[in-house]
Structure 1
């Protein structure tokens, strides 16, 4: 039996998560359900994509991922099911797949069409559960919808590189449980554009000229009181490979996180400026 994961903005106070799990067990008594998170900020597509993109790869092939964020059916927000990287995703076509599939194209995409048989104001419960159960039983995507070759794209949150290759303009896409600020600037893009040049990262009025690969690299262990580094700000490429602005050993109840201490919020601009233009490679004339 395939694993089924749930990612929603339902929270855990209300009955929604329990109802979805109950419906799955009614269809598949032996199902294995894993909660990725139900604490997505309401309707936050970017946050959903960031979390899911970094979580799904840890699951076995053929895992089915049910995504209930901004899932109300409308003309502009259809429902899709797709196979991507040997995983199945059931979700609204609201742009989140364009971020998850930025480097890997889906093998097959269908627009779910079982709504004609199911009247619902809670599609995750009444529609997505049926589709997930069908796939878990070995059913084909073609049975639940018509095949399509595209999905909604979100391009305004993609980092932008200027023509001179001297800067990257990115933005905040997620703030984690520690208050650390994650941007959409990947280490791969940084290295491709930067080509080893000196740089300056700017986040509001704060600047960084070094990016760490581990949080504790900021600590000078030759100093007896290592705790003096607690609360220091730093830039790091996190485990997901994105530029992050952090506070070392941040505690939201005492020290505070980068978001609150530096005044950074979702979609705020973060820029990287590189020194000196890239020198074109010399090609000798024969």
Structure 2
């Protein structure tokens, strides 16, 4: 049996996560369930998209990913099941899949149409679980939905390059548990536009002229500990997903501060890269 993952904004206090797991086991007791995250900020589609994009590749092909973010069915928020990169995604067509689809073309997309057979005011529990278990049994997507071509796209998810190709305008798309700020500027785009030129990254009052591979690359370990510039050391780096990240070395938002708090950066704030 394949693995089913869960990514939601349900949190840990309420019964929702347990109820969804119980419904899955009631359908197929042999399934394995893995929690990716239940701490997505409420209705935060971009946050969910970033987390899913960076988690799903670690799972084996055939894994089914249930995404319970902004999933209430309405005329502008249909439910979909998507086959992409050998995985299956069951979610609302609200832009969550567009970050994945910007890099890899989906193999198949269906708009779920089993709602007349399932009484529901909790779609993740009633509809998404039914669809995921259908797929887990080897069922085809066409049985539970009609084929469609278009996915709703998230606005502002892609950085903008100016006509002179000497500037990239990016935005903050994620802030992690350490307060590190992740932008939508990828290493591949940076290198394509930069072509080895010098650059300056600007984020409000913070500027950077180097991008590191690791957090510790910003620290001069040739100096004795008492002479190293560590506390509050700002840095830019390519994170494990090859997105441009702005960070504070060993940051803690609750004590010493973080890139988000110290630079004054929030979701959708602008990050500018100017090449010389």
Give the SS at the match of 2:97: helix
* Aligned mates of 1:242, 1:121 — CA distance in 2: 37
Residue 201 (1) aligns with residue 204 (2): no
1:50: Cα distance to partner? 0.5
Please give the residue correspondences for 1:137-156 in structure 2 after superposition, counting only pairs within 5 Å: 137-156=137-156
In structure 2, the residue matched to 1:283 is: none
Map Cα deviations across residues 120-178 of structure 1 (whole Å, 9 max, x no partner): 11100000000000000111111100111111122423100000001000000000000
State the partner residue of 1:215: 215
Count residues with an aligned counterpart: 275
1:155-174 counterparts in 2 under 5 A? 155-174=155-174
Give the Å deviation of 1:253: 2.5
Deviates more, 1:153-162 or 1:48-57: 153-162
Q: Deviations over 1:16-64 (max 9, x none)?
A: 0000000000001111000000000111111111000000000000000
In 2: Cα distance, 1:196 partner to 1:43 partner: 39
Distance 1:155 1:69 in 2: 17
Counterpart residue number, 2:257 = 256
Q: Which residue of 2 aligns with 1:71?
A: 71
Aligned to 1:230: 231
Distance 2:252 2:89 in 1: 35
Partner in structure 1 of residue 241 of structure 2:
240
Matched with 1:186 is 186
Greater radius of gyration (CA): 1
Q: What residue is the counterpart of 2:128 in the other structure? A: 128
Query: C-alpha distance in 2, partners of 1:124/1:60?
Result: 23
Structure 2: which 5+ runs fail to align? none
Match of 1:281 in 2: none
> For residues 104 and 7 of structure 2, what CA distance do their matches in structure 1 show?
20
Per the TM alignment, residue 101 of structure 1 is displaced from its structure 2 partner at its CA by 1.3
**3-state SS in 2 of match to 1:82:** strand
C-alpha distance after superposition, 1:237-279 (max 9, x if no partner): 101000000000112232111111111111110010011xxxx
Deviation at 1:117, TM superposition (A): 1.2
Match of 1:17, SS? helix
Taking the aligned partners of 1:136 and 1:50, their CA distance within structure 2 comes to 25
Matched, 1:14 2:14: yes
1:86 is aligned to 86
Q: Secondary structure at the match of 2:191?
A: helix
| Runs of 4+ more than 3 Å apart | none
**3-state SS of 1:76 partner:** coil
SS in 2 for 1:163: coil
* SS of the residue 1:184 aligns to: strand
Instruction: Please tell me the root mean square deviation across aligned C-alpha atoms, in Å.
Output: 0.9
Counterpart secondary structure, 1:212? coil
